[in-house]
A and B are shown apart, each in its own frame.
Chain A
Amino acid sequence: MIRERYLNLAIMLALLAVPLWAWVSDEPFTITLATRVAILALAGVGLNLALGLGGLVSLGHAAFFGLGGYAMGILAHHAQTYTPLMESPFLIEGTKSMPVIWLVAVLVSALAAFAIGLLSLRTTGVYFIMITLAFGQMFYYFTISWPAYGGEDGLSIYVRNGFPGLNTLDPIQFFGLVYGVLALVLVFSATLARSRFGLALAAARQNEERVRTVGLDAFRLRLMAFTISGAITGLAGALMADLNRFVSPTMFSWHMSGEFIVFIILGGVGRLFGPVVGAGLFIILEHILGGLSEFWMIYLGALLLAVVLFARGGLIGAFSGPEVGHD
């Protein structure tokens, strides 16, 4: 058994080494794949705050992923066409600057998560799963039938947005940026888990009655967790949109929400680096299995089933043994 800390370090190094190797050997597509892993991992890390730490099984996180994506799409679209976002009561222009877009993406998805959380956290268990799913679908159908920003066609952004001091069009530099964001969010996530809030949230997951009996409001804790979680997933959405230079309603589809959960499960529920491992494994499988058979999703399904039924700790659990309490 390996200490989880060293395993985490190895994971981050591997995620860095693969694209660097690809950069040296001029395999830009591998860098793109690694970037995709990092972004999906980021979305998973966001969900894991709600799901792993808070025990909130959200089947609607695609809503925040999509909102982040559309925050990028809409801002960049207006900048690209030189049309203002709105003129009255005050002028808002589009932008091609990543930091601004990220900020908007985080704020918008946090706001949405707060509103959705306010309604859906009144419910628990299956009701919570289903109502988050329904909210996700609401966004999905809304974007499809809302004509202003392309409807089902989505929005294409021809040139990747800029970040001060970097050439984001260069795959390895964009990867570096995404990797940096992922690392920061992982640190934040670890800090959060060890903070006062993290302690109380984790306790609320295990025993709501206990938390209430010491005078802490479990609902408020969960609402905050859900909001932060949504914000991070929204940030991932903005990055994904920039990777693809494209946004569309499929970012809101419930399959997306399902895949986020799959990352977490493959890696190991509640593990800080679970989503990173899960996303990596998912992308690798997609490529290996996809190369073997047109019906690769059957094998993916079978593997997923096997992990759920027989390997509950996920991949990290298999290597580092059962989880130990944070202290």
Chain B
Amino acid sequence: MSILLLIEQVLNGLQFGLMLFLMAAGLTLIFGVMGIINLAHGSLYMVGAFAAAGVAGATGSFALGLVAALAAAAMAGAIVEITVIRRLYTRDHLDQVLATFALILIFSEGTRWLFGSFPLFLDVPAALSGAVTLPGGIEYPLYRLAIIVIGLAVAAGLFWLIARTRIGIRIRAGESDREMIAALGVDISRLYTLVFALGAALAGFSGALVGAIQSVQVGMGEPVLILAFVVIVIGGIGSIRGAFVGAILVGLTDTLGRFLLPVLFGFVMDPSAATSVGSALASMLIYILMAAVLLFRPTGLYGRA
């Protein structure tokens, strides 16, 4: 195991974490502003990937695919907010879990009905295919590098949006006091639709980005959804900064755990058992991390009590 390989794995963890951040940011934004726990966030991720695959397949342009993913996911998000989520603001978490669980069923089977059961094709754009050599001689896929850059840019954009813009001020106000912002004369239901659509667009965008290097298939959103939940729970639900730190933490833990644990176990047992035990433990590692964080901070790293 060389130091270069380790650095490369850290990059991989970073990239995975930033991808998770795009998912988690929408989730935590929606929770923070509206108090809604949205299990169907993974479905919006899937909608983005399918829209991108469909449009990129028809036009041959990845960029158009990305635009379509953003539009489709935002639109799906807005429709869901207006028809379903809006009725859930005053309900307890149980109803929200149930209703959004129902939405997962509808989205998944609906997508299968529209697109069939086979995975769709979506490829990395030609301009971003292949690998580049980084300083130190690490060869790294250009597309993953692009994801890191995009992820950081979106994170910066979100921080700017929340901290500096009028919309952000409204979002922060809505976060602290629903009645107050209504009293200020801001159309609260429009703001909520907007925030939900923004969260959905982020999910759809990451779905499309990931779709290019993963399988675009029905149900692709669920594993990511659960990871995103782990991220925001670690970071503190409602906090964008928490989502960012949590995502990077989960990305690094998962990637490095997968890579290092079998090696570590290799020192104390035979290689075949070590890979087996190591990868079994690696698959549980982020949940252990989450339990550990909550043990010491029951509302997450940046959560409000």
Contact = CB atoms under 8 A, between A and B. Distances in A.
B94 A261 contact: yes
B105 A301 contact: yes
Interface of A: 51, 57, 59, 119-120, 122-123, 125-127, 129-131, 133-135, 137-138, 141-142, 144-147, 254, 258, 261-262, 265, 269, 295, 297-298, 300-302, 304-305, 308-309, 312
A44 B280 CA distance: 30
B291 A304 contact: no
Given A127-B233, A127-B237, A138-B288, A304 B98 contact: yes
A292 B91 CA distance: 33
A13 B37 CA distance: 39
A29 to B, nearest CB: 25
A312 B290 CA distance: 33
B276 A123 contact: no
Nearest to B233: A130
Interface of B: 31, 37, 84, 87-88, 93-95, 97-99, 101-106, 108-110, 112-113, 226, 229-230, 232-233, 237, 276, 279-280, 283-284, 287-288, 290-291, 294-295, 298-300, 303
Across chains A and B, which 9 residue pairs bring their CB atoms closest together, nearest first? A301-B105, A145-B280, A304-B102, A301-B106, A141-B283, A305-B102, A138-B287, A301-B102, A297-B109
Contacts of B87: 309
A263 to B, nearest CB: 11
A57 B97 contact: yes
Contact of A262 (B93, B101, B300): B101
A134 B94 contact: no
A59 B97 CA distance: 9
B106 A134 contact: no
Contact of A295 (B99, B112, B232, B300): B112
Given A134-B230, A134-B291, A51 B105 contact: no
Contacts of A119: 291, 294-295
Nearest to B106: A301
Contacts of B287: 134-135, 137-138, 141
B237 A122 contact: no
Nearest to A266: B98
Contacts of B232: 130
B93 A126 contact: yes
A47 to B, nearest CB: 11
A127 B99 contact: no
Nearest to A139: B284
B288 A301 contact: no
Given A119-B294, A133-B229, 4 more contacts: A120-B294, A127-B299, A142-B283, A301-B105
Given A57-B93, A133-B226, A127 B84 contact: no
